[in-house]
Amino acid sequence: MIVEKKVFELPEFRTSGGQLIKNVRIGWESYGTLNADRSNAILIAHYFSGTSHAAGRHAKEDVFPGYWDALIGPGKAIDTDRYFVFSSDTLVNLNARDPHVITTGPASINPDTGKSYGLDFPLVTIRDFAAVQKALVDYLGIRRLHAVMGPSMGGLQTLAWAAIYPDMMDRIVPVICAGEVDAWLIAWLGLWGAPIIADPAWKNGAYALDEQPLAGLKLALELVTLQANHWIWADTQFGRTFAEPGADPGNALRNYFKAQTVVSGIAAERAKISDANHLLYLVKANQTFAVGPTGTVADLEKIKARTLLLYSPEDQVFRAAKSRATAAAIAKGGAEVETAEIHGPFGHANGLFAMAPLGEKIREFLAA
């Protein structure tokens, strides 16, 4: 599929904290056709470092398709011959410098000053991400969604949708997530952002757009990349191979293992299209995740939608026990809930790269 990037605009948006943001612009993509009664829409919410690019390619020459391309498309588990599938970039999207991403956040121009917001941009929450998506849904004239689904932070958004707008969807598929961000993950998220804050080039968030703290941002993305994967992946891919043949890391400080240089290279490429302040805002949004109106796990019991919760036992971000507890809390409220495990070598990222074996289960769940 060749995908067209579209823009949704709101003259103003008031955050859950009561702050006003003017001229909100977010990018969105869709796959398939909305039917006459607008009843076949499936919303896909993206993960922490993801974008609205869930499937297809922006151009034929693109090397990689969207992250769930194995699931979304004609005849696939999320069948675009049957469903209208759409996804939007969140506020404060990490990839603010990617030409295919349209987002509003600290790197955006404040219409009141003509300069980028920096840390003057209001803090936002997962609930705010869902609220902007709700505005897009209303704009499209969709009264009820066939399903809401997404991995990781997309799963948090899915749970927020189901708790805040319980009568607006038939089904949800939260993937590699849980109903709360616990103390362990709060601390890890803080470490994700710490290298940026420690970089003198950060300048308390007041860096020029062409002088962002790349050293801190790159190191932050190394931490994100490593934690989102698994030692099975690292051991299988690299073992103890030297980065340079014959350059034994035991002989010099600047001799490295291949595992180090690959993770560093991935982070360096991602840093080119990312924004440091946006990463910090995403960290805060995830740390403060509140699933519903009261901001407690009890809000999971407000969910009415049929639920298929997919989790990975190898996940090092959202522990499997937390995912299972989330499913139990939703079921306690009376909703129909089933779970399934995602297995693979990628840990948390199994929810992106090891989903194909779950395709038939997802197809059946959406069709039931």
- For 46, phi then psi, to 5°, come to -95, 165
User: Is the C-alpha dihedral spanning 198, 203, 206, 208 positive or negative?
Assistant: negative
Question: What separation in angstroms does the CA of 104 have from each of 116, 207, 213, 281?
Answer: 11, 17, 20, 12
Give one DSSP letter per residue of 131-175, joined into a string: HHHHHHHHHTT-SSEEEEEEETHHHHHHHHHHHHSTTSEEEEEEE
Distance CA 52, CA 3 (A): 11
Active-site residue, 39 included? no
Return the amino acid letter for 123.
L
Active-site residue, 16 included? no
Active-site residue, 348 included? yes
- For 222, phi then psi, to 5°, come to -65, -45
Return the closest-CA partner of residue 76 out of 362, 339, 344: 362
> Which of 16, 30, 152, 312 is an active site residue?
152
CB-based contacts of 258, cutoff 8 Å, min separation 6: 238, 241, 242, 243
Contacts 24+ apart (CB under 8 A), 264-268: 264/218, 264/222, 266/221, 266/222, 266/225, 267/218, 267/219, 267/220, 267/221, 267/222, 267/224, 267/225, 268/218
Write b or e for each residue in 197-235: b if 16 or more Cβ atoms lie within 10 A of its Cβ, otherwise e. Answer: eebeebeebebeeeebbbbbbbbbbbbbbbbbbbeebbe
> Which of 88, 89, 315, 323 is an active site residue?
315
Write b or e for each residue in 52-84: b if 16 or more Cβ atoms lie within 10 A of its Cβ, otherwise e. Answer: bbbbbbbeeeeeebbbbbbbbbeebbbbbebbb
Give the single-character DSSP code of 315.
Answer: -
- 201 touches 212 (CB < 8 A): yes
Active centre residues (catalytic)? 152, 315, 348
